[in-house]
Amino acid sequence: MQFGSQAHPIVNRSQSSLNGALNQDLQPAGLRLLPGKALALLGGDVFLEGGNLTANGGRVSLGSVGANSTVALLPEFAFGYEQVSTFGDVLLTHGAQIDVSGSGGDVSVHSHNLYMADSSSITNYVLGLALPGTISLIAEDAIELNNSGIVFPHYFSVLKEGSQLDIVANRFALRNGSIVLGVALGAFGGGAQITISAADSIELTGANPTTPNYITASSIAGDGAGGDIVVNTRRLLVADGSQLESVTGGAGQGGDISINASERVDVVGKAPTSTASAAERVLLALGLQFDSTAMGQPSVSRIVATSGVEEVDSSGVTGPGGALTIRTDTLSIAEGAQVSVGSFSSADSGDLLLNARAVRLDTGAQISAATTAAGDGGNIRLSGLKTLVLRRGSTISTSAATGDELGDGGNISIDADFVVALPLEDSDIIANSTQGRGGNIDISTLGLYGIAPRRALSGNGTSDIDASSEFGISGTTAVNRTVTTPALSKTALATQTLNVSTAVTQRCGASGNRFVVSARGGIPLTPTDAMEAHSVMVDLGAEGVDDNDVNLSAGERLFVSPDVTGDRTLAEANGWQTDADGQVVLMAQRSHSESFSSLATQSLATQCSG
């Protein structure tokens, strides 16, 4: 398909409900297709201004291209944009909806910017034996969701694979309570697979009056595994109670989270107190009952992979938590925010791996791999660090079980040039347990400052490293200082004295060389010049010093030989005598060795000039 000199915009405002047709959210179907069919809106800017598109189990393609573009038609009603040089924008506003729920539903968007606002949504619900669907969003510049959502759950499926979401852009942002929700509910179905690649940045900021921003690929009940989340970017910001999470809520393995941020990762702050938790938002979005006792608990910003969730009863969950891996240059966690793996069930926690140059925890921040029941705490490994800084009550913890359970604490391994904490700020590194065995803590560092191995009692006001168990067997704490003092080697002295005739060569030097010293003080201008006095700086001038012209004390004068007339040459003092007044006068006298050296120099100069 070829577009001319003008690619005209496309606008959809349809709220049609022909024969009472509704979409998955029980809203008017709008522009509706027969099940399994495809719809493409290709042109200039594409606007869905409150208009809905419904294609159950079908395909919806939105493409916004510039003038003189060519879009290729591919098999299965897909499109190729390789010959498009410029793209336009796609906007979903005023609650616009795209719904492809059903078997194998697919949504694809190609644009310069994709903007979703005002509770707009893209949905793809899959039920039972239906095949998982795909959502592909590609933008040259930015993809932003503002109080909007992408929802693609998998209900009671017997298929292990969930739906797939792929986001590719320069910048990706969730703002003001937006969600990306890919979960599996019941049976054997697995959670969704989410891949977000944003070359410049990914930001989750702001909360609306009811919920924070939330990205999840989880499994709720049943035997299905939680989904995996992969994030690739330069900078990742998770703020204002936003959460990036993979959870198993049944018997399946928890999904893994992998974050690759070449520059930095910031996890900071919490949602306003009026904002409900992310877990509440998820369960309510899926039409499930939420534990009312957890209502009103504001979410802290966090990146987590867990078995069960803190806000609801997870005692029936038996699947282990997933792993969390973060690779970045700088990781900063602050204001109570969390980066963690864990278990709120009887299952074990997953492991947490951080590979960074600098890690800073501030103001109650947490890195944890903890369990609250019988499961074992996960392992934490921090590698490749130049600095690890803990401030104002921050913790790194693999604690296990807070009650009568027998879970063991996980191990903590830290490889950092410097580990720094303020002694009286109560920041701790803990691998302990209540009834089970405490974990092991292994720190390899050049320097450990402000924190020391001892019991980390609650509120003790000191910064501690603790691998104890309250009623079980304590773990071990090892601090390995990687700086060692090398043994001084002994050098054998020569048994024979130096033969000067072989060490000093009498040869002609290169002509035209100079050694120049600028300004006063320090080295004399020539080897025969006198060194300057330290008590007073005197300008000797080209003709030397006349004792009758300069009123100097005897101790400040440089002696000038009375035998020298006309052009007088200054010489360095090498002796002294007392004059008639008892004052010490410095003398410049030629020694025998100097005379010999002068003759030798003249001899060599004669040879060289010849």
3-state secondary structure 114-154: EEEECCCEEECCEECCCCCCEEEEEEEEEEEEECCEEECCE
Helix, strand or coil for residue 552? coil
Assign 602 a pLDDT band (cuts: 50, 70, 90).
low
Do β-strands 584-587 and 575-578 pair in parallel, antiparallel, or remain unpaired?
antiparallel
Specify the range with the lowest mean pLDDT, choosing from 23-27, 145-149, 400-404: 400-404
Burial class (CB in 10 A: 0-12, 13-18, 19+), 610: exposed
- Residue 457: CB atoms within 10 A of its CB come to 12
Q: Is the dihedral of CA 542, 547, 550, 556 positive or negative?
A: positive
What is the C-alpha separation between 278 and 284, in angstroms, rounded? 10
Helix, strand or coil for residue 500? helix
Specify the range with the lowest mean pLDDT, choosing from 78-82, 209-213, 228-232, 549-553: 549-553
Specify the range with the lowest mean pLDDT, choosing from 54-68, 252-266, 517-531: 517-531
Q: Do residues 86 and 45 lie in contact, with contact meaning Cβ atoms separated by under 8 Å?
A: no
Helix, strand or coil for residue 111? strand
Q: What is the pLDDT of residues 111-151, one digit of tens each?
A: 999 999 999 999 999 888 888 899 999 999 999 999 999 99
pLDDT at position 535, please?
Answer: 46
Q: Do residues 207 and 275 lie in contact, with contact meaning Cβ atoms separated by under 8 Å?
A: yes
pLDDT at position 510, please?
Answer: 56
As a whole number, the mean pLDDT across the chain is 81
pLDDT at position 77, please?
Answer: 82
Of 228, 201, 202, 208, residue with least CA distance to 217 = 228
What single-letter DSSP state applies at residue 603?
H
Distances in Å between the alpha carbon of 334 and those of 55, 360, 385? 44, 8, 18
What is the C-alpha separation between 132 and 309, in angstroms, rounded? 25
What is the C-alpha separation between 171 and 183, in angstroms, rounded? 24
What is the rounded average pLDDT of the residues 313-339? Answer: 90
The per-residue DSSP string of 23-68 comes to -TTSSB--EE--TT-EEEEEESSEEEES-EEE-TTSEEEEEEB-TT
Do β-strands 352-355 and 324-334 pair in parallel, antiparallel, or remain unpaired?
parallel
pLDDT at position 545, please?
Answer: 45
pLDDT of 553 above 50: no
What is the rounded average pLDDT of the residues 473-494? Answer: 68
% residues pLDDT > 90 (the chain): 46
User: Both tokens of residue 211?
Assistant: 């919920």
Q: List the alpha helices (DSSP H) in 437-555.
A: 500-503
pLDDT of 89 above 90: yes
Of 451, 442, 452, residue with least CA distance to 482 = 442
What is the rounded average pLDDT of the residues 89-108? Answer: 96
Helix, strand or coil for residue 484? coil
Assign 319 a pLDDT band (cuts: 50, 70, 90).
confident
Q: Do residues 575 and 584 lie in contact, with contact meaning Cβ atoms separated by under 8 Å?
A: no
What is the C-alpha separation between 280 and 144, in angstroms, rounded? 23
pLDDT at position 320, please?
Answer: 85
pLDDT of 82 above 80: yes
What is the rounded average pLDDT of the residues 497-511? Answer: 63
pLDDT of 543 above 50: no
Please give the residue that has the higher pLDDT: either 158 or 450: 450
Q: Out of 328-332, 483-487, 505-509, 536-540, give the one with best mean pLDDT.
A: 328-332
For the chain, what percentages of helix, strand and coil (3-state, to nearest 5) are there?
5, 40, 55
What is the rounded average pLDDT of the residues 55-64? Answer: 95
pLDDT at position 289, please?
Answer: 54
pTM above 0.85, yes or no: no
Do β-strands 72-74 and 78-80 pair in parallel, antiparallel, or remain unpaired?
antiparallel
Assign 422 a pLDDT band (cuts: 50, 70, 90).
very high
Region for residue 298 given its phi and psi (left: phi exceeds 0; alpha: psi -120 to 50; beta: otherwise): beta
What is the rounded average pLDDT of the residues 524-542? Answer: 51
Q: What is the pLDDT of residues 579-596, one digit of tens each?
A: 777 777 777 665 544 544
pLDDT of 441 above 70: yes
Q: Do residues 322 and 341 lie in contact, with contact meaning Cβ atoms separated by under 8 Å?
A: yes
Please give the residue that has the higher pLDDT: either 292 or 145: 145
Q: Do residues 224 and 298 lie in contact, with contact meaning Cβ atoms separated by under 8 Å?
A: no
